Structure 1
Amino acid sequence: MRAMGLAVKVKKNRLDTTVVVLNDDGDRDVALDVSNVRVEATFEINSGVDEMANMLGDCAKNFSGRLRGLKPDVVTVRRADRPARPTNTEGPRMRLLMEGALTSSAQQLVAGTTIRNGRECGSDYGTNKADLDRVASEIKGGKFSEATAAALSGLVANR
């Protein structure tokens, strides 16, 4: 099974999306063995500083093209966690808009598209967010860690 995970980050009024595609060649009737999981592809989608609708549309088109080529079985978009102290800043709004645009683009091509926050990804994986993030970092860490965690949760949830 091929699972794609996405995670969006805000950096100085830019939106950077990391994408990881994991392939699991193991038996789908038994629990996931991470030693059977391999990273098939990683890439980034970086927004420009264009008008918001144009920026979201361009990123969604870029993503849609990559999605057609990679043909994942499932897509999991890792949604922003609720902050401990809500803010009324533009960054979180932009992130939510991008997550929505990419989710919509994925849903049109992959019926098995879900959107989950970190806690929900951990629950789908059968553990908690921190443990899932640790496992994900061992597979493909750094800036791809959250996207890897999303893809892992998709592999387990669709076994």
Structure 2
Amino acid sequence: MVKEQELLEKFCDLNLNTGFSPGEIKFSMITLSNGLIEDIQKHQFDDELLQQKRELIVQGKAPKFKVGPDNILRCNRSICIQALDKIKEIILEEAHKSKLIFHPGVTKTYQDLKQNYWWPGIKKRVAEFVTTCLTCQKAKVEQQRPA
């Protein structure tokens, strides 16, 4: 019991929400955010195309599109990204240059992104981004050099 109490105190120090009931302790999910989702949500209302999609949803004419309880527009569960290049650039950078992933090619980057994000012309934009990546270009040149 003493060890459990110490553990609970450590979890409380981490600002985790805890729930107690006889024989069990429940911890709520940890959510990490860099503010990107909030930016997307805020700017979706500024985008004319996304506003049109919202209107089509109300009319029942956009079956692939839905607005979730978080008021974020999605296409087949993928978050719709507005025409702001700044947000697209952040998403592309994270998908291609993250420290967790080492510069995947066009196909892998696109496959990963399309699971979570949607915007018109996403495949073309991913291809442009990856083909202009200096790290990828340098690696390609080094691979082509004779040994």
TM over 0.5: no
TM-score (norm 2): 0.21
Asked which structure has the greater CA Rg, the reply is 2
Flag the structure with more relative contact order, 1 or 2, with Cα contacts below 8 A and sequence separation at least 6.
1
TM-score (norm 1): 0.20
